[in-house]
Structure 1
Amino acid sequence: MNVRRSAAVLAATAVIGTAAPAVAADPSASPSPSVAIPEGLYGAGDPTYDGVWRQSLALIAQHRADVRPAAKAVDWLAGQQCANGSFAPFRADPAKACDSKTLVDTNSTAAAVQALSALGEHQAVVDKAETWLRSWQNKDGGWGYTPGGPSDANSTAVVIGALAASGLDPEKDVLRNGHSPYDALLDLALPCADGGGFAYQPDKKGKLAVNADATAAAVVGAAGLNMVTAQADDRGKGDCADGPADPEQAATNGAAYLAKAVRKDGYLKSALPGSEDQPDYGNTADAVVALAVRDGASAAREPLAWLEKNSAVWAKQSGPAAYAQLIIAAETAGADPRDFGGTDLVKELNALGPAPRKPATAAKADKDDDGSGNAVWWTVLAGLAAGAGVGMLLSGRNRKRHQ
């Protein structure tokens, strides 16, 4: 769930499928996009490497905030799908068929599935994407960023979320060679002596190194949740414990690692070379979600408070995916995304794309309007009120709208 890949890293990952996720500002904030920005796309920056990802997160965040995304925004996302069901990070000309040069990936595809499933639109697109994802499941049960690439924790987690969103049980319904996606995550879990978190991938020598971003993703994935369904669990904080391979305990161990990582400063630090002392806003938002999902809202309180105080400039500079991450974190941990450190995250996100559709109730009221500025049902309500002896003048109505 992270705005984590710079353009250069994304390009490298699409080619070799083994680069660990980097942490960087959202490339959608680029001031000089190299391609024309489609009308339905959120953000004004170059979408070459993150168009589908940022659009999916934006639609998910709006859905979680009870906002109906614009039809053109939803249609744009669905229209990015290739004929085989996959998604690339961005297709400037969707009318042109995908070919062997189209760098499709599991992360873009899975994010689109989560968004479209949540909205209940374009089911045929969701079904084709699900079939494509399942066709590229590795023998260990997981997925890599590129189709057929070595499994990594982030990709496996986001695909688990997509398949769960489409109604599948990842543990029982999604098996390859007898291995489920949870088996792939467990293969990347470290013992408590090494931190108890998750690695992104084994290195060239097969060794595992704990990675905070991969850990946050894996904790949510191990719970069978996704960006849409993540909610705080009130079970309370758990301790790291080694033992038989078990997704639940592995997730508990991962949350214990994240809790320790944010304890000193309230945030996760950047994994980019040379920037160890810099805060990583996106990964911190992911940690909030993981901590809340596993240990409850109270476990996420400190990093959430840090984000409320410090994330406004980052979000403004980074674009729609950043606002979406913050909305998802706030929603999961029980904060108000419309008053997040004094910022209305929902309003800021909505302003970066086509205006959302009106709520269904407001749309119906407008349809019933008689053209005089008052709805036809105004007269009906006034008559009912008078008949009941209510001594008040009904002078109109207020309709609640999501900005």
Structure 2
Amino acid sequence: MNVLRRSAVALAAVAVVGAAAVPSVAAGPSPSASPSLPSGLFGTSDPTYDGVWRQSLALLAQDTQGVTPAPSAVDWLTGQQCADGAFAPYRSSTAADCGAKTAVDTNSTAAAVQALAALGGHDDAVDSALTWLKSVQNEDGGWGYSPGGASDANSTSVVIGALTATGTDPAKISKGGKSPYDALLTFALPCAKGDGAFAFQPDEDGKLTANADATAAGVLGALGKGLVTGPGEAAGDAACADGGDREQAAANGAAYLTEALAKDGHLTSALAGAEDQPDYGNTADAVVALAAQGGAERAAEPLAWLEKNAGSWARQSGPAAYAQLVLAAHAAGADPTDFGGTDLVKALNATGPSPTDTDEKEEEGKADSPFGTWWYVGVFAVVGIGIGFLISNRKRQP
């Protein structure tokens, strides 16, 4: 699940204020820090569009490495939850409960579920969030970013991850007689028309267009996997074949990603008005998807490219980027503490409150990013013209 989804919300914010949009996948200056952010939050930039997402990824990444997060970091996340169980990307004040204007969403909620379930000891918060997610399931069995919004591959996949992370079988969570898997397969393209890729969602004419971000998400969703996964069973060369079940759809998606990565070892962004450039976050998500579907060897080449090239991107982007790389290394059976010469775990820890089981001190000048896997997550926004901008942008992603 991917950084494009989460980083896209920042592009929406840039679009709203009329500034030139700089793709987040490029190594650029870190966003300005906010002086009033709570100490438990990872990163120092404005968390308006991604606070819960980046916090959840950071906690998940720490957990995979046996790091016990700081209580303040976990408390910050649980404190963001609304009384009905949902999460918004960020609530600057939690003194009052969420109201009708609180922009809760499925992606933030599903990511928080996965993080809190992994950490343990938060059953009430997890159960409440799952109840809310089930209550906003669409009639086609899937989910959109916002409650009631049209289903899309990324949101449906990240919710599938939340269900499986809590021991819930997605096949048994149905609406209108349709399960999340049924919904997800509607976004899978046939081999002849899309080489087995997944689309984000149909365009206004009902056409599906191959989307690398949605494909990485779709592979994990079709496998019933979440943001954290280890290497799957080693398989032969990925090949696209029409028909079959969700496992075949995952194999088809892996074949598409393998082909897309073959030339340069990385995926590229194709944002309007910008030159194609490496998409580090989506490449990390592709590594997770490929490793989960066909074993560590299948993800070896893009992982090696990330080890060689992603260091500067992570340093400038911050906690979610470090977390994505940790999760990619974990999925492919690599060592996150020696990733191209960088200790990703130490670097991640330095962007937030000190873990309870280390002697590291919290750094005042911590790195930061509002963005991260996969998943946004996609092209989503919660306010104003950002929604139209982001959805249009996602549909252009090859």
Instruction: Give the TM-score normalised by structure 2.
Output: 0.84
CA contact (8 A) 1:83 1:98 kept: yes
**Aligned alpha-carbon RMSD (Å):** 2.1
Please state how far the C-alpha of 1:235 moved relative to its aligned partner. 2.7
User: Quick check: 248-257 or 3-12, which moved more?
Assistant: 3-12
* Residue correspondence of structure 1 range 212-361 to structure 2 within 5 A: 212-244=212-244, 246-358=245-357
Please state how far the C-alpha of 1:127 moved relative to its aligned partner. 0.5
CA distance in structure 2 between the partners assigned to 1:335 and 1:120 by the alignment = 25
AA aligned to 2:283 is T
CA distance in structure 2 between the partners assigned to 1:126 and 1:275 by the alignment = 40
Deviations 1:342-375 (A, max 9, x none): 000000000011111128xx9xxxxxxxxxxxxx
Which residue in the other structure is 2:131 paired with?
Answer: 131
Q: 1:101 to 1:160 in 2, by over 3 A?
A: same
* % identical aligned pairs: 64
AA aligned to 1:6 is A
Please state how far the C-alpha of 1:96 moved relative to its aligned partner. 1.9
CA contact (8 A) 2:160 2:180 kept: yes
CA distance in structure 1 between the partners assigned to 2:246 and 2:275 by the alignment = 30
Matched residue SS, 1:97:
coil
Runs of 4+ aligned residues of structure 1 deviating over 4 Å after TM superposition are 8-13, 22-28
Which residue in the other structure is 2:9 paired with?
Answer: 7
CA distance in structure 2 between the partners assigned to 1:108 and 1:25 by the alignment = 24
Please state how far the C-alpha of 1:50 moved relative to its aligned partner. 0.6
Please state how far the C-alpha of 1:287 moved relative to its aligned partner. 0.4
CA distance in structure 1 between the partners assigned to 2:67 and 2:108 by the alignment = 22
CA contact (8 A) 1:234 1:297 kept: yes
User: Quick check: 225-234 or 103-112, which moved more?
Assistant: 225-234
CA distance in structure 1 between the partners assigned to 2:10 and 2:175 by the alignment = 32
Provide structure 2 residue ranges, at least 5 long, that are not aligned to the other structure: 16-22, 360-398
CA distance in structure 2 between the partners assigned to 1:249 and 1:31 by the alignment = 44
AA aligned to 1:339 is D
Deviations 1:226-258 (A, max 9, x none): 1123433323333100124x1010000000000
Matched residue SS, 2:93:
coil
Which residue in the other structure is 2:31 paired with?
Answer: 30
Which residue in the other structure is 2:165 paired with?
Answer: 165
CA distance in structure 1 between the partners assigned to 2:158 and 2:12 by the alignment = 16
Which residue in the other structure is 2:84 paired with?
Answer: 84
* Residue correspondence of structure 1 range 188-203 to structure 2 within 5 A: 188-193=187-192, 194-203=194-203
Q: 1:10 to 1:185 in 2, by over 3 A?
A: farther
Matched residue SS, 1:338:
helix
CA contact (8 A) 2:143 2:149 kept: yes
Instruction: Give the TM-score normalised by structure 1.
Output: 0.83
Please state how far the C-alpha of 1:9 moved relative to its aligned partner. 5.0
CA distance in structure 2 between the partners assigned to 1:89 and 1:167 by the alignment = 25
Please state how far the C-alpha of 1:324 moved relative to its aligned partner. 0.2
Q: 1:105 to 1:62 in 2, by over 3 A?
A: same
Q: 1:237 to 1:247 in 2, by over 3 A?
A: same
CA contact (8 A) 1:141 1:184 kept: yes
CA distance in structure 2 between the partners assigned to 1:221 and 1:12 by the alignment = 30
AA aligned to 1:219 is V
CA distance in structure 2 between the partners assigned to 1:321 and 1:28 by the alignment = 15
User: Quick check: 248-257 or 289-298, which moved more?
Assistant: 289-298
CA distance in structure 2 between the partners assigned to 1:28 and 1:126 by the alignment = 36
Please state how far the C-alpha of 1:61 moved relative to its aligned partner. 0.2
CA contact (8 A) 1:6 1:25 kept: no
Deviations 1:263-302 (A, max 9, x none): 0000000131233520000000000011111111111111
CA distance in structure 1 between the partners assigned to 2:136 and 2:27 by the alignment = 27
CA contact (8 A) 1:28 1:50 kept: no
AA aligned to 1:147 is P
* Residue correspondence of structure 1 range 362-377 to structure 2 within 5 A: none
Q: 1:69 to 1:10 in 2, by over 3 A?
A: farther
Q: 1:113 to 1:82 in 2, by over 3 A?
A: same
AA aligned to 2:149 is G
CA contact (8 A) 1:27 1:45 kept: no
CA contact (8 A) 2:228 2:331 kept: no
Matched residue SS, 2:75:
helix
Provide structure 1 residue ranges, at least 5 long, that are not aligned to the other structure: 14-21, 363-403
Which residue in the other structure is 2:376 paired with?
Answer: none
**Which is higher, the Rg of structure 1 or of structure 2?**
1
CA distance in structure 1 between the partners assigned to 2:12 and 2:247 by the alignment = 31
CA distance in structure 1 between the partners assigned to 2:12 and 2:139 by the alignment = 24
CA distance in structure 1 between the partners assigned to 2:329 and 2:215 by the alignment = 19
AA aligned to 1:113 is V
CA distance in structure 2 between the partners assigned to 1:237 and 1:132 by the alignment = 40
Deviations 1:111-144 (A, max 9, x none): 0000000000321110000000000111111000
Matched, 1:96 2:96: yes
CA contact (8 A) 2:26 2:278 kept: no
